[in-house]
Structure 1
């Protein structure tokens, strides 16, 4: 961990905060990976007292307290591919906190593919919140409980993004598929390259029971740990049309025939919200993709 040389009482306080953060993450997070957050990511907010890259770039740790959370972004942009991240989520009473791992382009008409992990009161399950934005429009949420405790160990969360579909996977198990239904007039994210983002922030206005349960700052600091970031992306040529992933590559990442039963099992047993079943939200009719085969 690099420490800036600071002077005076303010500098000593800053140094002390950084030292406490380092001790906390070493106690909670352990990493052994070949990803390099030092060379592949930029810390974008929160400062080094809330975001730290450790073990020669092999692990990233984000901290939330009542002064700030933290976030980072990949230096490279991607257009189609499979992206993996191992995450250990905030333990204990994490109500109000949001640990985010997502892809996004820039601008008001941005595209976005979201994994967001909504904190809980101790003993309650985490909620995995997924969403897909196209041309700045989202409202395609699906939410799930997990079939394990995501705070005890690292688990792999993957986004498979191809011209045909987007697949959300947890430890290799598909939990959601969003198909390209452009023929139905449904916009699909296939023209804008995206960066990968990770963040830990205070979402108490909505994250836990719709904002009814607020963040307990007596339980702070909250720490989320990231490691083993891996990208298998399709090649992008500057000023060229969007690339196409080969069928062979997509089958290597996602075999719908063999994984369909697992997808069905997750959705039948662990899905707790599906925008395609929310007729009160869409009184004039569900979005077109909801009725697609």
Structure 2
């Protein structure tokens, strides 16, 4: 009986260890990330549990995860630039880092003139093809406090979340490219883009207000690290492939419709000047 009990305990410990290897946890910045450019413009605060990104006339900055991941969910809490942030872009995205056939899932927060709503632009690149922009005006002030921004990605769909509200769904329709095979790293940048970021480039950055600051905390990656366990790489038994993660649940679907009705300001799917024929992925629903 004792040997059986010990065997069961061992199995439990091994299962728990595997769970930790594929599931996420709030981490310090240096546990999972490294600076990609302008290290002097990224400052760790709260003992590395949060960071400050700085943009001034000398440089923006950026960082990336130390590993790449195949499917799962990535979340961060961001507090964006306060006041007049026109011409700035704070980006949080996933990228396969492959030139001509890259896969990429983008959150881009487009700065505003004081008093105007912040716009979040999402985009999906699959097998090197992008130009799938959607824009949503946020229904709160994202510079006043931290909010959670998440990218969920499995074989069935990609979902972009703001807090617990889905703002974008990109289905694997089978009729258009979908990112299924290439692992992606997690990236973030803060940079100047006043040639397009605010009102199509009409609003320029006001450098008299520099430096500009964006804040990040609660870095949470729940996914398959690559290279990793073979069971993880093959997605066998992972929670993000379960049947209840293959489509939005009814509560999420209601929230998604609310966003599209009340806060969406641009959707490439309905832009007939760019796409006289509706792209096939736009007909896939949610």
Task: Tell whether the structures are fold-level matches, with TM greater than 0.5.
Answer: yes
Asked whether the equivalents of residues 148 and 162 of structure 2 are also in contact (C-alpha less than 8 Å), the reply is yes
Are 1:46 and 2:38 an aligned pair? yes
Q: Could you say which residue in structure 2 is the equivalent of 1:65?
A: 56
2:151 to 152, 159, 179: 159
Are 1:212 and 2:202 an aligned pair? yes
Are 1:114 and 2:126 an aligned pair? no
Gap runs ≥5 in structure 2:
1-24
Instruction: Give distance in 2, aligned partners of 1:120 and 1:249.
Output: 39
How far 1:195 moved relative to its partner?
0.6
Are 1:56 and 2:47 an aligned pair? yes
Instruction: Give distance in 2, aligned partners of 1:192 and 1:146.
Output: 31
Instruction: Give distance in 2, aligned partners of 1:47 and 1:97.
Output: 19
Instruction: Give distance in 2, aligned partners of 1:177 and 1:102.
Output: 15
Asked whether the equivalents of residues 54 and 60 of structure 1 are also in contact (C-alpha less than 8 Å), the reply is yes
When you count strand as a share of all residues, which structure comes out higher? Answer: 2
How far 1:97 moved relative to its partner?
0.2
Q: Could you say which residue in structure 2 is the equivalent of 1:150?
A: 142
Instruction: Give distance in 1, aligned partners of 2:243 and 2:63.
Output: 28
What secondary structure is seen at the aligned counterpart in 1 of 2:90?
A: strand
Instruction: Give distance in 2, aligned partners of 1:82 and 1:253.
Output: 13
Instruction: Give distance in 2, aligned partners of 1:246 and 1:125.
Output: 36
How far 1:292 moved relative to its partner?
2.8
Asked whether the equivalents of residues 125 and 145 of structure 1 are also in contact (C-alpha less than 8 Å), the reply is yes
What secondary structure is seen at the aligned counterpart in 2 of 1:75?
A: strand
Q: Could you say which residue in structure 1 is the equivalent of 2:86?
A: 95
2:221 to 224, 227, 231: 231
2:259 to 256, 266, 273: 266
How far 1:90 moved relative to its partner?
0.3
Q: Could you say which residue in structure 2 is the equivalent of 1:280?
A: 273
Instruction: Give distance in 1, aligned partners of 2:142 and 2:56.
Output: 21
Listed one character per residue, the Cα deviations across residues 18-75 of structure 1 (whole Å, up to 9, x for unaligned) are xxxxxxxxxxxxxxx9421022111111122x11122222011110001100000000
TM-score (norm 1): 0.83
Quote the RMSD (CA, aligned, Å). 2.0
Q: Could you say which residue in structure 2 is the equivalent of 1:188?
A: 178
Instruction: Give distance in 2, aligned partners of 1:215 and 1:268.
Output: 30
1:51–1:253 distance in 2 versus 1, CA, 3 Å: farther
Are 1:105 and 2:96 an aligned pair? yes
Runs of 4+ residues deviating >6 angstroms? none
Asked whether the equivalents of residues 38 and 53 of structure 1 are also in contact (C-alpha less than 8 Å), the reply is no
What secondary structure is seen at the aligned counterpart in 2 of 1:191?
A: coil
Instruction: Give distance in 2, aligned partners of 1:247 and 1:69.
Output: 34
Asked whether the equivalents of residues 95 and 118 of structure 1 are also in contact (C-alpha less than 8 Å), the reply is yes
1:247–1:205 distance in 2 versus 1, CA, 3 Å: closer
Gap runs ≥5 in structure 1:
1-32
What secondary structure is seen at the aligned counterpart in 2 of 1:129?
A: strand
Instruction: Give distance in 2, aligned partners of 1:60 and 1:250.
Output: 36
What secondary structure is seen at the aligned counterpart in 2 of 1:103?
A: strand
Instruction: Give distance in 2, aligned partners of 1:40 and 1:235.
Output: 11
What secondary structure is seen at the aligned counterpart in 2 of 1:80?
A: strand
1:78–1:247 distance in 2 versus 1, CA, 3 Å: closer
The total of aligned residue pairs comes to 257
